[in-house]
Amino acid sequence: MSEYTANDTLNALAAASKGLSARKDEINRLNVFPVPDGDTGTNMSLTLESVIGNVARVPIGAPSADIYKAITTGALMGARGNSGVITSQILRGLCEGCAECSTFDTAALDTAFARAQEVAFQAVRKPVEGTILTVLRDIASAARQAHKKRLSLDDALEFVVGEAYASVQRTPEFLPVLKENNVVDAGGYGLAILVDGFVAALMGKEGGLKDEFAFARTDAPKVEIELINDWEGSEFRYCTEFLVHSDSVDVDAAREFLPTMGDCDLMVGMHPNFKVHVHSNRPDQVLQWFLTHDSQISEVHIHNMQLQSAERADKLASEQASQEAERKPYGFVAVASGAGNAKILKSLGVDVVVSGGQTMNPSTKDLLDSIASINADRVIVLPNNSNIIMAAQSACELADIPCGVVPTKTVPQAFSALFGFNEGCDLSANLESMTEAFSDVKTGEITRAVKDSRDAHGNPIASGDVIGIADGSIEAVGSDIAQVVMALLDAMEAEDADTLTLLAGEDFSDEEAAALVALIEEKYEDIEVESHRGEQPLYPVVFSVE
């Protein structure tokens, strides 16, 4: 059984929160239930950010009870919107379930999600199928099955993530408004992303755990969202939420009052702190009731959901107009790190530059989403790293349009490959000609060693040394960047080259780059040198010779 510490868990929670925040706009686009106000992702991410902020104030080494309290309090105080309040109750239930267990194992996983389901369903007066609650119930069921099957903890966690995404895919079967708008439930998808991010971080994996292969084979949730007047028939206009502070407020009376003022009513917490949420046409009367019933209120947020819905519709209309622009015969996706490299690639015709490289490999889904975002009949992908080629090939296999991979391993190779493109040729011919175009390109990369090692010839390398890498092989070692560049050029037989393209990294100044170019030109008089700002991290200099 894997052993995870409290610190592992908190770090994973922070990573999951960050991942959720990064994808909040994606979740917002799906938001049509209970009203199409387009803020589910925002509200869930703000709720988690409040949790992380509260947990950060807990002293290192604090007992579990203090950590659980910080999570539940942070979630309650920071809960935003219907989805955020429900998320806060899920977190509260998970903490209460974990508190009952002495060890984090599959039995604890089962107990925690069972309690989360119980608490979250109790908070909602009229649970609706096809929402975040349905996904939570299916996750709890998966945790229960994993326990019964006696899976290892890691296997159980992966099983839960897979079932979370599968449940999200089923949500349109239960909720007609989702099927009408051709979307999955936003809150359920947000919960799946949150669970996925937590588990992936806990297991030491970057990004999502699954790479979402199975999810990507369907249209959900990346779908063509139709512009339907979802607001028609919605009776209440204002999303009203606030904190209630009272030692004596009658909770039963409050819960009976809220439905008389609107719908989507929630009141969670316990004396002396509660969170209230309701969709109403008279938020003033909602606030007045609590003010006249032995309560103080704070953190009042009132949103006009009709205006939010209009903003969402305008944004979707703009996106659709962009998608309906003149379709191109070819589109290009390239992977690169550094604003300068991205700018150069786009100037050469690349439509989407996916951030990534040696230390940050994008997933198959990242590449698949980029392919789908281009209005083209076919797409060519330039991975620019040997570790990304396989993911690029998988994305091309899953794509709905013809796609192909030009197996570039470096950004300079991509530059040359793009010059080999011919719009008049078919996809197969272009893949062949573009691959041929970069075949003579030799790439040198300068970075620092992160551990003791040896170069390609068995010579020792100490951590912190400047190393020169020629097409994957460490061929030069030293203490000075310029010195290593010159040694690497010798190893690469640069005297036979006609051109050299140099990309300066984010930590390599213009002055340093100019001095290096002068040094190269002095030694290699016949080479034409071009210098650009690549701004790539970790690699102060990347260059190519051909």
b/e map 407-431, b = 16+ CB within 10 Å: bbbbbbbbbbbbebbeeeeebeebb
Asked whether residue 319 is assigned to any structural domain, the reply reads no
- Kindly state whether residues 304 and 400 are assigned to the same domain: no
Indicate the residue among 437, 469, 499 that finishes a domain.
437
Is the confidence at residue 90, as pLDDT, over 90? yes
Q: What is the CATH number of the domain that holds 292?
A: 3.30.70
- Kindly state whether residues 114 and 171 are assigned to the same domain: yes
Is the confidence at residue 233, as pLDDT, over 50? no
- Kindly state whether residues 195 and 248 are assigned to the same domain: no
Is the confidence at residue 263, as pLDDT, over 60? yes
Asked whether residue 222 is assigned to any structural domain, the reply reads no
ω before 59 within 30° of 0 (cis)?
Answer: no
Residue 534: pLDDT band with limits 50, 70, 90: very high
Asked whether residue 407 is assigned to any structural domain, the reply reads yes
- Kindly state whether residues 455 and 432 are assigned to the same domain: no
pLDDT for residue 220: 42
pLDDT for residue 500: 96
Contact criterion met (CB below 8 Å) for 143 and 111: no
Asked whether residue 318 is assigned to any structural domain, the reply reads no
Residue 211: pLDDT band with limits 50, 70, 90: very low
Residue 362: pLDDT band with limits 50, 70, 90: confident
Residue 6: pLDDT band with limits 50, 70, 90: confident
pLDDT for residue 221: 43
Stretch 300-324: mean pLDDT: 71
Q: What is the mean pLDDT of the chain?
A: 87
- Kindly state whether residues 174 and 271 are assigned to the same domain: no
User: The pTM is what?
Assistant: 0.55
- Kindly state whether residues 288 and 423 are assigned to the same domain: no
How many whole angstroms separate alpha carbon 75 and alpha carbon 89? Answer: 8
- Kindly state whether residues 417 and 288 are assigned to the same domain: no
Residue (of 71, 64, 66, 67) closest to 90 by Cα position:
71
Domain range for 180: 6-216
Asked whether residue 316 is assigned to any structural domain, the reply reads no
Q: Which amino acid, one-letter code, is at 91?
A: L
- Kindly state whether residues 501 and 416 are assigned to the same domain: no
pLDDT for residue 478: 95
Q: What percentage of residues in the chain have a pLDDT greater than 90? A: 56
Is the confidence at residue 214, as pLDDT, over 60? no
Q: What is the CATH number of the domain that holds 413?
A: 3.40.50.510
How many whole angstroms separate alpha carbon 248 and alpha carbon 210? Answer: 48
- Total domains in the chain come to 4
Stretch 33-48: mean pLDDT: 76
Stretch 360-375: mean pLDDT: 88
Is the confidence at residue 1, as pLDDT, over 60? no
- Kindly state whether residues 179 and 252 are assigned to the same domain: no
Q: Mean pLDDT check: name the lowest of 86-100, 170-184, 259-273.
A: 170-184
Asked whether residue 225 is assigned to any structural domain, the reply reads no
Is the confidence at residue 517, as pLDDT, over 60? yes
Q: For 343-351, which contacts have Cβ atoms below 8 Å and span 24 or more sequence positions?
A: 344/415, 344/532, 344/534, 345/411, 345/414, 345/415, 345/418, 348/415, 348/418, 348/419, 349/418, 349/421, 350/382, 350/418, 351/376
Q: What percentage of residues in the chain have a pLDDT greater than 70? A: 90
pLDDT for residue 529: 96
- Kindly state whether residues 75 and 169 are assigned to the same domain: yes
Asked whether residue 381 is assigned to any structural domain, the reply reads yes
Indicate the residue among 216, 247, 281 that finishes a domain.
216
- Kindly state whether residues 456 and 524 are assigned to the same domain: yes
pLDDT for residue 358: 67
Is the confidence at residue 338, as pLDDT, over 50? yes
Q: What is the CATH number of the domain that holds 95?
A: 1.25.40.340
Q: What is the CATH number of the domain that holds 529?
A: 3.30.1180
One-letter-per-residue 3-state SS of 204-259: CCCCCCCCCHHHHCCCCCCCCCCCCCCCCCCCCCEEEEEEEECCCCCHHHHHHHHH
Strand-pair partners of 240: 278, 302
Highest-scoring range by mean pLDDT, 19-28, 225-234, 414-423? 414-423
Stretch 373-393: mean pLDDT: 93
- Kindly state whether residues 18 and 163 are assigned to the same domain: yes
Dihedral in degrees, nearest 10, Cα atoms 136, 142, 143, 148: 150
Asked whether residue 313 is assigned to any structural domain, the reply reads no
